[in-house]
Structure 1
Amino acid sequence: MKIAAIQMESISGQIDKNREKGKKFVYEAIKKGAQLIVLPELWSSGYHLTKPVFAKLQQETKDIVEQFRAIAREHSVVLVVPFIDKKGEDFFIALSVIESNGEILKTYHKSFLWDKEQLHFKHGERKYDPIQTSIGKIGTLICYDIEFPELSRILALRGAQLIIVSSVTRLASEKRWDIQLPARALDNTVFVLGANTVGEGSCGKTKLIDPKGAIVHECSRTKEEILLCDLDFSQIDKARLKIPYLKEFDYSLVPGLVETKLY
């Protein structure tokens, strides 16, 4: 199975330009055979904006999700599309998982907000449930969420085979990005796919990590590009035979967490 992550530079506030660039990358990934394609956090709006501007652009970013539902349906591809969501008067950094028939299987709201994000957005509900898609069972996190190891562990214990992280990770956080994604993959013997932006101080390095914590492929720090990789979920079982972290896990440490047969 081929999967893709789009590493792109967004122009803050330029919805039309970002949308067309994003679509171009997605269509290119489809032509190359990708069955799952992931876009980075706030790709359609840009990241460095004020709360009034985010609010102004919110509906347009959500409308783009509808356009990508049509792309998913037409090309039978699973898409992970971040956007700005709104409930009542509250705004959320969000993403939707779109099935290959165009159905939105899940919308996830970023649950941990970094620094000044808390001035613009609300925390999402802290519930971490993977979703079964036509390409496998995936968990979704957004940027700062990956820095909390408990979230990935819960997703893995609930059966996630691939944890997807849409992100705007800055150069100042590059070291953490390089350490934490492989750590989450190894700790939980799952694949981790991190889709990051470039430009405006972002560190790029979109990457796929295998269940043993090894980098399968990593993009550059500065260039727009498509990460395109083959993914074989059978590697998970092979890794778990040698690294039994989840087999040894004591479910009583997390009240309410139902034991899942992983071995």
Structure 2
Amino acid sequence: MSRKVRVASVSFPGVQGEGRERWERAVKELSEWVDRAALDRPDIILVPELAPGLGTPLEEMVKSAQPVPGPLTEEFGRRARKHGCYIWCPLVEEAPEGLYNSAVLLGRDGKVVGVYRKVYPTIGEMEKGILPGEGPVVLETDFGRIGCIICFDLNFLELGWAYRDRGAELICFLSMFRGGLQLS
């Protein structure tokens, strides 16, 4: 059964600088970009991979790791609730077993719906301590069953096939780079 869903994406240039002050400025600016995207009344807003850390080296991004739920998901949860939409919130996730390049789906009520952990981190990410996720995560929304892939994951067709086999109706692509031929 086909359904209409309104999708908005944010293209965030990042914020230069270092440390906590840069992080807080980035979250503030990114939140403003999300507010602008919400003017189109989307059902879901996609935010680029590791967006709060864009403009800094991966080492800085790793230092900003947060638990889920945590300060960043709470901030974006407020935005999701305010605008009545879902938001994919990307971050370096600090979990008991280690760090992940993750995307947290926040519901229209601002609560965590689920977490996708990048299955195929790059060598550079793994050298900085990022662990691979276990596999695809299909989440229920009021407009259908959705999944997520993050950046380098796009190169692995078997991940897309696994989403298909699990009944995903929409796969959201979060990346700091364009998808190129793989999206054709």
TM-score with structure 2 length normalisation? 0.85
SS in 2 for 1:59: coil
Q: How does 1:12-91 map onto structure 2 within 5 Å?
A: 12=16, 13=18, 14-46=22-54, 48-51=56-59, 53-59=60-66, 62-88=70-96, 90-91=98-99
Q: How does 1:169-248 map onto structure 2 within 5 Å?
A: 169=177, 177-182=179-184
Code of the residue aligned with 1:4 in structure 2: it is: A
SS in 1 for 2:54: coil
In structure 2, how many angstroms separate the alpha carbons of the residues matched to 1:54 and 1:74?
27
Percent identity (aligned): 22
In structure 2, how many angstroms separate the alpha carbons of the residues matched to 1:109 and 1:42?
12
In structure 2, how many angstroms separate the alpha carbons of the residues matched to 1:103 and 1:30?
17
In structure 2, how many angstroms separate the alpha carbons of the residues matched to 1:3 and 1:93?
22
Q: Does structure 1 conserve the Cα–Cα contact (< 8 Å) formed by 2:116 and 2:137?
A: no
Q: What do the CA deviations read for 1:31-66 (whole angstroms, capped 9, x no partner)?
A: 222121010011102264253x33432239941111
Question: Which residues of structure 1 form unaligned runs of 5+?
Answer: 183-263
Say which one has the larger Rg: 1
Output the aligned Cα RMSD: 2.1
In structure 2, how many angstroms separate the alpha carbons of the residues matched to 1:94 and 1:121?
13
In structure 1, how many angstroms separate the alpha carbons of the residues matched to 2:61 and 2:8?
27
Q: How does 1:147-158 map onto structure 2 within 5 Å?
A: 147-158=155-166
In structure 2, how many angstroms separate the alpha carbons of the residues matched to 1:120 and 1:68?
26
Q: Residues 144 and 27 from structure 1, CA distance in 2 versus in 1: closer, same or farther, beyond 3 angstroms? A: same
Q: Residues 93 and 125 from structure 1, CA distance in 2 versus in 1: closer, same or farther, beyond 3 angstroms? A: closer
Equivalent of 1:8 in 12, 15, 25: 12
SS in 2 for 1:138: strand
In structure 2, how many angstroms separate the alpha carbons of the residues matched to 1:135 and 1:76?
13
Question: Which residues of structure 2 form unaligned runs of 5+?
Answer: none
In structure 2, how many angstroms separate the alpha carbons of the residues matched to 1:89 and 1:7?
31
Q: Does structure 2 conserve the Cα–Cα contact (< 8 Å) formed by 1:15 and 1:60?
A: no
Q: Does 1:120 align with 2:99?
A: no
- The size of the alignment, in residue pairs, is 175
SS in 2 for 1:180: helix
Q: Residues 89 and 150 from structure 1, CA distance in 2 versus in 1: closer, same or farther, beyond 3 angstroms? A: closer
In structure 2, how many angstroms separate the alpha carbons of the residues matched to 1:133 and 1:104?
12
SS in 1 for 2:73: helix
Report the alpha carbon displacement of residue 132 of structure 1 after superposing the two structures with TM.
Answer: 1.0
Q: Does structure 1 conserve the Cα–Cα contact (< 8 Å) formed by 2:100 and 2:117?
A: yes
Q: Return structure 1 stretches of 4+ with deviation > 4 angstroms.
A: none
| Number of the residue aligned with 2:108 | 100
